[in-house]
Structure 1
Amino acid sequence: MNLVTFSLVLTGVLLNACAQLLLKAGADAIGTLAFTRANILPIGIKLATQLPILGGLACYAVSVVVWILALSRVQVSLAYPMLSLGYVVNALAAWYLFGEALSLQRVIGIGIILVGVYVLARS
């Protein structure tokens, strides 16, 4: 995988991770949602007016374009497992931004993912 291809894959992964974090921030701003027939429209309006949620959706849209560019240059069997780097980014960012737990088990899991991505990237 050359530098351009790796950059596209990594950009796609980071955009996807950013989208998740923005969606989480928007969901936290709204609070717990309980869907019923009576509140579908009000909840839809709340979701559609949350800037973090709109930003997350925009990140997803851009990430699809970047991902297509990446897939045009590399095999999907190599690119797709790289998405697991998003788990690492999200776990660390969620710990930092939202105060989510980063237990020893999660750290070990992150280490396993990183080793797996390294082995895959070297193939």
Structure 2
Amino acid sequence: MNMATFALVATSVTFNAFAQIVLRKAMTVGILPPVQHSLAFAWALGTNVWLWAGMACYALSIGLWLAVLGRLEVSVAYPMLSMGYILAAVIGVFWLGEQVGLERASGIALICAGVFVIGRTA
């Protein structure tokens, strides 16, 4: 895999990971009405800036991912999405104050190793 293709993959994965983080933020900002009050819940979500930012990140991620799929076999490209686990965990720790223990960090390291091996076969 050449550097331009890897950069495209990394950018798509980054937008996807940011979408997850921002959507998590959307669900924790303020107090959402109970789901049983569907109109109030829908209004609260529809006017949530974090939700719209997350959806925009997803849209950009999908557009970039289409370009990735035009360059790589899906058996190589799809596992690269796993890099998003790493990025989301790191951002979650620093921005959302989430905890990542030794077991979770070890699992993320194994994912990194697998992505590295797959990337070298491309």
**TM-score normalised by structure 2 residue count:** 0.93
Q: Which residue of 2 is the match for residue 22 of structure 1?
A: 22
Change (3 A) 1:47 1:10: same
CA positional deviation for 1:5:
1.2
Task: Give deviations 1:20-46, integer Å, cap 9, x for gaps.
Answer: 11101111104466322xx11111111
1:1-123 alignment, distance < 5 Å:
1-31=1-31, 34-36=34-36, 39-123=37-121
Change (3 A) 1:33 1:118: farther
3-state secondary structure, aligned to 2:29 = helix
Runs of 4+ with >6 A deviation = none
In the alignment, structure 2 segments of 5+ residues that lack a partner are: none
Change (3 A) 1:83 1:43: same
Q: What code does the residue aligned with 1:75 have? A: E
Give the CA RMSD over aligned residues. Answer: 1.2
Contact 1:30 1:46 in 2 (8 A): no
Aligned length: 121
Task: Give deviations 1:82-110, integer Å, cap 9, x for gaps.
Answer: 10111111111111111111100011011
Change (3 A) 1:116 1:32: farther
